[in-house]
Amino acid sequence: GAGVSQSPSNKVTEKGKDVELRCDPISGHTALYWYRQSLGQGLEFLIYFQGNSAPDKSGLPSDRFSAERTGGSVSTLTIQRTQQEDSAVYLCASSPQPPGHLGNTIYFGEGSWLTVV
Amino acid sequence: GQQVMQIPQYQHVQEGEDFTTYCNSSTTLSNIQWYKQRPGGHPVFLIQLVKSGEVKKQKRLTFQFGEAKKNSSLHITATQTTDVGTYFCAGITTDSWGKLQFGAGTQVVVTP
């Protein structure tokens, strides 16, 4: 597709259930990021994938959170045993190069709105 | 760890007025980026600044990167209603190329 695609766009889940959020980056983009944004707040870094390198997982808030990126393309963010404080918009982004490269542009998807009840 | 702070958190502007939002980092940045997020939308990349003291303009928007590469500013002249949204700065340090750290953003409201 033309942009970063995320699914589902909205998810309501019961506390304690597991959820999976999917991200399809722009074709050819080697870098993929997951961020979390709570209502009216800034973006909280979760995880970063770059090519075949080991991901930077330093932003994952707990061991209930995990992410993988298969074949250097699609990524899945999994939240196990969801809690109410996990409610937020989960934003995926991709870029053709690492974020520090000159002229690099990062493109965000529309986000997956997660509500834990 | 690195922290990126933005001020003000909210900016209420009369249409036609100018305003500035500021971004400060606790550590030296290799580069800084600015994003705009419209209400209900996702962040959209505006610009990247790399050099110490760099100044870039996009129409009514002027972006600056401080000499010490620890702060940045966004100045908007003759504000229009289309400028409504939240403006985020995001910084990268040389030892963390992937961790783009976002500030909390400045939410801009424009009164006609």
Does A35 contact B at CB distance below 8 Å? yes
What pLDDT band is residue A100 in, cutting at 50, 70 and 90?
A: confident
Select the more confidently predicted residue: B3 or A85. A85
Say yes or no to pLDDT of B98 above 70: no
The count of domains in chain A is: 1
What pLDDT band is residue B1 in, cutting at 50, 70 and 90?
A: low
Domain ranges, residue B56: 4-111
Does A34 contact B at CB distance below 8 Å? no
Say yes or no to pLDDT of B42 above 70: yes
Q: Tell me the CATH number at A76.
A: 2.60.40.10
What pLDDT band is residue B97 in, cutting at 50, 70 and 90?
A: low
Residue A117 forms part of a structural domain: no
Question: For chain A, what is the radius of gyration of the CA atoms?
Answer: 14
Can you tell me the distance from the alpha carbon of A77 to that of B47, in angstroms, rounded to the nearest whole number? 28
- Residues of A with Cβ-Cβ distance to B100 under 8 angstroms: 33, 45, 48, 99, 106
Please, which contacts does A49-52 make with residues 24 or more away whose CB atoms are closer than 8 Å?
Answer: A49/A75, A50/A98, A50/B97, A50/B98
Residue A9 forms part of a structural domain: yes
CB A4 within 8 A of CB A27: no
| Contact across the interface for B102 and A99, Cβ inside 8 Å | no
Averaged pLDDT, A88-105: 86
Domain ranges, residue A34: 5-112
CB B84 within 8 A of CB B108: yes
pLDDT at B35: 96
The count of domains in chain B is: 1
In chain A the first and final C-alpha atoms are separated, in Å, by: 33
Residue A108 forms part of a structural domain: yes
Scanning A36-65 for CB atoms below 8 A from B yields 40-45, 48, 50, 56, 58-59
Residue A88 forms part of a structural domain: yes
pLDDT at A4: 96
Averaged pLDDT, A82-89: 97
